[in-house]
Amino acid sequence: MTRQYFGTDGVRGTANTDPITSEVVLRLAMAAGQRFRRGNHRHLVVIGKDTRLSGYMLEPALQSGFISMGMDVVLVGPMPTPAIGMLTTSLRADLGVMISASHNPYYDNGIKLFGPDGFKLSDADEMEIERLMNADALELASPQGLGRARRLDDAQGRYIEAVKRTFPTDLRLDGLKIVVDCANGAAYKVAPSVLFELGATVIPMAVQPDGTNINKECGATDTRALREQVVAHGADLGIALDGDADRVIVVDEQGQVVDGDQVMAVIAGSWADTGALRGNLVATVMSNLGMERYLADRKIGLTRTAVGDRYVVEAMRRDGSNLGGEQSGHVILTDYATTGDGLVAALQVLAVLVRAEQPMSAVGRAFEPVPQLLKNVRYDGGAPLTASAVQEAIAEGEARLGQSGRLVIRPSGTEPVIRVMAEGDDDALVAAVVDDIVQAISSTA
């Protein structure tokens, strides 16, 4: 089915440009309101956002749309995406909305929707919302049936306490010096507070959002400054969140990156030892082959999905798994959250660290990664992957890698980019295969 608005993670685009305009977002809220206006109870929507300038434009558009459909609105301001999932269920709301483009630059923005169960919407719900957005008329509330809006002043405190409860009660972070990079994003207040209240010495960075500096040379997608600060301060580790704090990257005391695959492997190994792990670990096709081999050695199953945390969550719910995620740092722990939560995942790694009484460089290297290379090719239109020259280059690359490697080619779900990834035991071969395919796509695009 062709989608007009929704991508792999909600609706996303450049702010004040279709579809991220006040007009479209107003219509989105009205359609979502009609879709989730069920029964005779007083309907409720929770709306949060990150720190982008365009949030000031989109928040009132959403508020107006929902109120026009007779739904009450609770505004929580800048909050991590996982907090919206948590608050949606805690407040028994009918819908949760997060205004964020996650790790993208400030000039992008997006809308993520959560159902009454706190999970992101299904494909069927999104398609129905799109149908309603294009319908001739929506069922507006009567004048006396309009919704109301209010702000939830203690939302941050509620989320902080919920996150702290995921950390083992017999442990503390006393004696640990932690640099936390909040990406000038949604967790700029809550992340340092959680770590401080659990006993750590906290060095916060990127905690002065100005509307345009979210994810700029900071956060989970750019750890250079964090790595420098960890070493400069002699810290035990660093924690990098992205703009909406649903992903995490860890940096060890030597300034080396511990990516999402290593984070998942550390947690999987620990949970397997204690009997807390249920089902397979669920990861995407982009997760490193080294992790797959590590899990096999530990007799832990692996289920791979398409790229996108929503697909990971769908597989986890289908199979009863409680751990999954992406190499990029989305780590989903369904015992504690309905979507990726960078803070909760970081606390699980910290629990392993405290119990092991070893440095992060030892704890965070659960497996030796197989050489892996990812390159992005931007294109202006058309379907470059269908070109015969590109298909030939892909087939040749697969043959060259053979059984000792993998090749993953996919279009991005959020931007006009083809992602080319190869991995295998031969670093030079991996690089050659990727370069040949990139060249073929570039010549066609």
Task: Write the burial class of residue 18 (CB in 10 Å: 0-12 exposed, 13-18 middle, 19+ buried).
Answer: exposed
Task: Give the active site residue among 54, 64, 68, 102.
Answer: 102
Residue pair 63/226 in contact by the 8 Å Cβ criterion:
no
Torsion sign over Cα 397, 402, 404, 408:
positive
- Measured distance CA(370)–CA(372) in Å, rounded: 6
Q: Identify which of 151, 94, 101 has the alpha carbon closest to the alpha carbon of residue 117.
A: 94
3-state SS assignment for residue 187? coil
Tell how strand 331-332 and strand 324-325 pair up: antiparallel
**Assigned token pair, 226:** 């964090």
Residue 16 burial (CB count, 10 A): 14
- Measured distance CA(392)–CA(383) in Å, rounded: 15
Q: Report the Cα 94 to chain-centroid distance in Å.
A: 22
- Measured distance CA(403)–CA(165) in Å, rounded: 44
User: Would residue 102 show up in a list of annotated catalytic residues for this protein?
Assistant: yes
- Catalytic residues, by residue number, are 102
